[in-house]
Amino acid sequence: MEFQVLKKNNLKRNIIIGVFGVLIISAIILNFSSARYRSTASVPIVDSEVNYVRPDLNAVAIVVDGESTNTVPEGNYKLLDTSYCTVNGEDANVTLAWDQTTQMLTVTPFTTRGTKCYLYFETATTKTVDTVLGEIEVNLDTPDFSKTSCSAGSNNGGNCREETVGIYEETTSKGTTYYWRGDVENNYLEFANKYWRIIRINEDGSIRIIYSGEKAEVDAAGKETVLANGYNDSSTDYTQIGTSRFNSSYNRSEYVGYRYTRGSQRPNSTNEGTDSTIKTYLENWYSNNLFGVDSKISNSPGFCNDRELQSGSGSWVSTGSTQYYAAYERADTTRQPTYECSNSNDLYQTKIGLITADEVMYAGGRLGTNNYSYYLYTGNIYWTMSPYYFNGSYAGVFDVDSDGWLSHYYVNGSAYGVRPVINLSTNNTITGNGTINDPFVVV
């Protein structure tokens, strides 16, 4: 055990002590009235000297996941409330806290030599992260994206394949993003007199949200019903701004594009090409509904209209052959979504767009499997931004089906629902706690 000498001081101080030997801990913060000291050093106190010797702090027992060990565990572990310290066989009446990131044990207060501590750890399933929304609890496991997600018993006859519900993290080339999955009840947000659900906190700290209704209409109808997970909105359409075809043209592969150039897989830049029908629809709505709060919305994260082909497809063709796009492969074969947009000419850095098929998978949806409970279910069919295929005659794009599953339809086939997605800037002030009755509010 190593201690450092500190000048005499009668005031209480926080002391960090490195502990070695029986206990391996990064640091211990102690609060006491005498001094910081070495194990055998003489420390002047008033007019006399007192020799402090080991053990002044001793870890008598360390138990990790029910097994005794000699060292404090590294990694994602939490200190249990059953941990305690004693002095002369009696409870020392101290508070213990463990920071799993820094591996720092805090003992408050530490006032007596010979303190003995009994430390009980177990593998942590969550961690606390400080974000623009305040502290959030993030699950440490990785969901199985081949399965739908919802809480047990909540799916109204649907296929609830696993119970990975909550906030999760994903590391991308741009940093770390935190996304909401399943029938979560802490991602409600109010902005511009409208209700939204949070999809994720982007890597740059902006917040990606999807439209869920006009505040006045939803409040009048009863937000506890209309905004609740599992609500079937097919007869009222509160959760969408209207309906539109994705594109008016359909018989060429390029018509899966948010913007397109005839005869090309994609335009040479996101500023070139012809606007799709749905892009025009969304931007008109933005001008009429969100222009006054434009400064609170970011265009930096962008929206990915991924037109890469699935692996092994060969060269892209405009007509004639059937070809599937990369999002189909991720949804149907690998079952592994991504937040990456591999081609910069598919990333539209605009202020409004649509959810992607990958984001639906992260949220708990699955290709061809219903989910009546997760937060993206509305009972309506609505468009995503992700190309599905060209079957030789028709271009198709992913949608979220009325049963909550990932599906697809021809770009001109029907006027399906439109649920705008925007990204809130990082400099907004936000209040609330995200519940249906106390949503996050952008002020």
Res 156: pLDDT: 59
Look-up of token digits 């404090």: 72
Give 25-64 pLDDT, tens digit per residue.
Answer: 333 343 323 333 322 323 333 333 333 344 567 777 899 9
**Cα–Cα separations (whole angstroms), residue 146 to 166, 325, 369, 406:** 17, 18, 10, 12
Res 110: pLDDT: 79
| Region at 222 (left for phi over 0; alpha for psi -120 to 50; beta for the rest) | left
Is 182 within 8 Å of 374 (Cβ atoms)? yes
User: Mean of the per-residue pLDDT values for the chain?
Assistant: 87
Cis peptide leading into 55, omega within 30 of 0? yes
Say yes or no to pLDDT of 196 above 50: yes
Give 88-132 pLDDT, tens digit per residue.
Answer: 889 999 999 888 778 788 888 877 888 889 999 999 999 999 999
Give 360-381 pLDDT, tens digit per residue.
Answer: 999 999 999 999 999 999 999 9
Is 11 within 8 Å of 34 (Cβ atoms)? no
Tell me the pLDDT band of 403, cut-offs 50, 70 and 90. Answer: very high
Say yes or no to pLDDT of 140 above 70: yes
Is 395 within 8 Å of 250 (Cβ atoms)? yes
Query: pTM of the predicted model, to two decimals?
Result: 0.83
Across 8-22, 53-67, 230-244, least confident range = 8-22
Say yes or no to pLDDT of 19 above 80: no
Which has the closest alpha carbon to 356: 335, 378, 336, 337? 337
Is 11 within 8 Å of 44 (Cβ atoms)? no
Say yes or no to pLDDT of 79 above 60: yes
Q: What is the 3-state secondary structure (H, E, C) of the chain?
A: CCCCCCCCCCCCEEEEEEECCCCCEEEEEEEECCCCCCCCCEEEECCEEEECCCCCEEEEEEEECCEEECCCCCCCEEECCCCEEEECCEECCCEEEEECCCCEEEEECCCCCCEEEEEEEEECCEEEEEECCEEEEEECCCCCCCCCECCCCCCCCCCCCECCCEEEEEEECCEEEEEEECCCCCCEEEECCEEEEEEEECCCCCEEEEEEEEHHHHHHHCHHHHCCCCCCCCCCCCCCCEEECCCCCCCCHHHHCCEECCCCCCCCCCCCCEECHHHHHHHHHHHHHCHHHHHHECCCCCEECCCCECCCCCCCCCCCCCEEEHHHHHHHHHCCCCCCCCCHHHEECCCCECCCHHHHHHHCCEECECCCCCCCCCCCCEEEEEEEEECCCCEEEEEECCCCCEEEEECCCCCEEECCEEEECCCCCEECCCCCCCCEEEC
Tell me the two tokens of residue 190.
Answer: 């109010």
Give 306-353 pLDDT, tens digit per residue.
Answer: 999 999 999 999 999 999 999 999 999 999 999 999 999 999 999 999
Res 71: pLDDT: 86
**Cα–Cα separations (whole angstroms), residue 135 to 95, 200, 379:** 22, 14, 32
310, burial (CB in 10 Å: exposed 0-12, middle 13-18, buried 19+): middle
**Cα–Cα separations (whole angstroms), residue 326 to 226, 238, 393:** 35, 32, 19
Distance between CA atoms of 301 and 283, rounded to whole angstroms?
17
| Region at 117 (left for phi over 0; alpha for psi -120 to 50; beta for the rest) | beta
Percent of the chain past pLDDT 70, that is, above it, reads 85
Res 347: pLDDT: 98
Res 46: pLDDT: 36
Res 158: pLDDT: 56
Tell me the two tokens of residue 80.
Answer: 């249990």
Res 26: pLDDT: 32
Which has the closest alpha carbon to 195: 177, 171, 220, 159? 220
Res 109: pLDDT: 86
Cis peptide leading into 109, omega within 30 of 0? yes
Say yes or no to pLDDT of 441 above 90: yes
Question: What count of other Cβ atoms lies within 10 Å of the Cβ of residue 166?
Answer: 21
Mean pLDDT of 150-161: 66
